[in-house]
Each structure stands twice: as structure tokens, then as C-alpha cells.
Amino acid sequence: MLAGALAGTTEHCAMFPLDTIKTRMQTAVRGIAVSPAVARTAGATAAAAEIHSHFNPVSAMRHATRALMRAEGVAGLYRGISAVGIGAGPAHAVYFATYEHAKEALGGNANKNQHAPLAHAAAGMCATIAGDAVQTPVDTVKQRLQMSGSPYRGVVDCVSATVRAQGVGALYRSYPTTLAMNVPFTAIHFSSYESAKIAMRVDDEDKEETFAVQFLAGGAAGGLAAAVTTPLDVVKTRMQTHCEVAESPYGTSNMAAAMRAVVAEEGAGALLRGLGPRVLFHIPAGAISWATYEYGKRVLGVSGSSGGGTHHH
């Protein structure tokens, strides 16, 4: 749990600026009705229009970054990082510990030189259900602070205002969607990571994986899983950032309805918005998370190679 908490906190804090840019791109809704005060403060409508005018994902990412920097400077890239600092550790402690126990129980550690994708995927599902129960309200607060024109002064203000206006359930509204995204995410991520480690272990199969093997396998697995699950991440972000300052069709716990709303309003291409920064986030995030986790285990005297992985986000 300690190694997992260290890995999760390190990963999310190191990659936070890219996560902010991804959130801004995914919440840049055409014609969104924000309050005049919010629009004046952060230029939310103008920023959304600028992002939508660039269909190339690289160009859209570049212009989203420029719009954020013009409005808020470097500090805007880190708005909401305090939520991660508070919540990522406990969430990842639960996530990694659950995975370790489930992987052992399901036979995933029986032979480290043989592929066991089903055991790894099933253990990842267990870890996701437990870890996301802690992570979802943290992620909701983080993204509400990250979005353009956020009306909240900080974590405490965001939590109190959200609960006061929408109830405690608003913090968990996206939990079903988060699970729907993270179940396939972890299935792809864990099986890819474990298989990549086996494929790259060419010198001595009896030795533990090296730092380089864990780093490269984690990065490849994170990028692949992130790319495949981007449409669900767009829907999750829209549901988490629907708040009392915006009139939006995403204030629902129904993932299918929210997805239909995205496609109806902006076309199917909107489901890939944020693909660039999401993949660029998860490649190094996966590498950092795995390497930090395995190193933390070694320092803490926990022997044996095992799984973990990065959290979705």
C-alpha cells in the first residue's frame, strides 16, 4: 500500500499539466451556457471556440494550451493539483493492494514466465472497483477545478459548493462510467504490461525485471489502454464537470445518454477529443507509476515481481 500510494501520487503530480489540458479540451463544448461572470473571468466561450476550430488533434492541443496560458499562466496548469495530493495516495494504496491480493488468489503469480492475461485482467477489475470508489470523488473535484472558468476557489470550496447544490451523489455521478472505462482500461493495461515484460526478458528468465523493462512496458501498456478508452473518458469528464454554473445535458448518471448527447451535439469525432494529451499523459505516467511502484517495493523489502499499473484517468 505504501509503494502504491507513492507511485500514484508521483505519477499524477508529475503529469498533472497534461491532464489539465486534456480536461480543458474535453470540456470545450460548443455553445455551452456558462454564467456571464465565468465567461468574463476566464474567457471560457472564446477558448472553446478556438479549440473547436482546429480539427487536427496536435493543433487543437497546442491551441488549448495557448488559451489556458493566456488566461491563467503557468499556475492554470496546476489548478486542482491539491486534490490529487490529498486523494491519489489513499486511492492508489487501495488499488495496488487489491490487485496484489487478487492476482495471487487468481493464480497470476504462478509462473512469471508464462502469459496469464485473464488472471491479470480479472485482478485488475477487482482493483478498479475498489480503487475507483476512493478515486472518483477526488477526480470529480480535480476536474471541476481544472475546467475553464471554474467558479471554485479550492478543494474545500468545490466540495462544499457541489454537495450544497447537487448533493453528495454528484461526487459519485460518474462512478459507473469510470468503471465502464477503467475495466477495459485495466484489462488492456495489465495484460499488455505483463506480456511486454515477458517479451522483453531475454537475458535470464529467472531474474527479476530490470528498471528499463518495467519502465518501457509500463509506458507502452499505458499508451495503448489510454487510446482505446478515450471515448469513455470524454463522457466521464463531461459528467464530472457538469455543475451548477453550466446548463448541460450531462448531469446524469446514465453513460449511454451522455454519450448520445455528445454525438448529437458535436458529432462522433468529439468522442476522441483529448486523445493526444491523454495518450501523452499515460505513456510516461504508466512508466513512472510502474517504475516507482516496483522500486518502492524493493526499498520496503517486498520481494517478487508483481503488477500494479497506472490509474486512468
The tens digit of pLDDT for each residue in 98-107 reads 999 999 999 8
Q: Calculate mean pLDDT across residues 23-43.
A: 53
Q: What is the model's pLDDT at position 120? A: 86
| Domains of the chain and CATH, by start | 1-29+65-172 (1.50.40.10), 180-202+209-301 (no CATH)
Q: Yes or no: say if 115 and 108 are a contact pair by the CB < 8 Å rule.
A: no
pLDDT class of 252 with cuts at 50, 70, 90: low
Q: Which residues are 268's β-sheet partners?
A: none
Give pLDDT tens digits for 283-312.
999 999 988 998 899 899 886 544 444 554
pLDDT class of 173 with cuts at 50, 70, 90: confident
Q: Specify the higher pLDDT residue, 82 or 204.
A: 82
pLDDT class of 178 with cuts at 50, 70, 90: confident
Helix (H, G, I), strand (E, B) or coil at 33: strand
Give pLDDT tens digits for 208-238.
678 888 899 999 999 999 999 999 899 888 8
The whole-angstrom separation of Cα 47 and Cα 55 is 14
pLDDT class of 36 with cuts at 50, 70, 90: very low
Q: Specify the higher pLDDT residue, 9 or 204.
A: 9
User: What sign does the dihedral 264-268-273-275 (CA atoms) show?
Assistant: positive
Q: Yes or no: say if 107 and 119 are a contact pair by the CB < 8 Å rule.
A: yes
Q: What is the model's pLDDT at position 145? A: 93
Q: Calculate mean pLDDT across residues 239-251.
A: 62
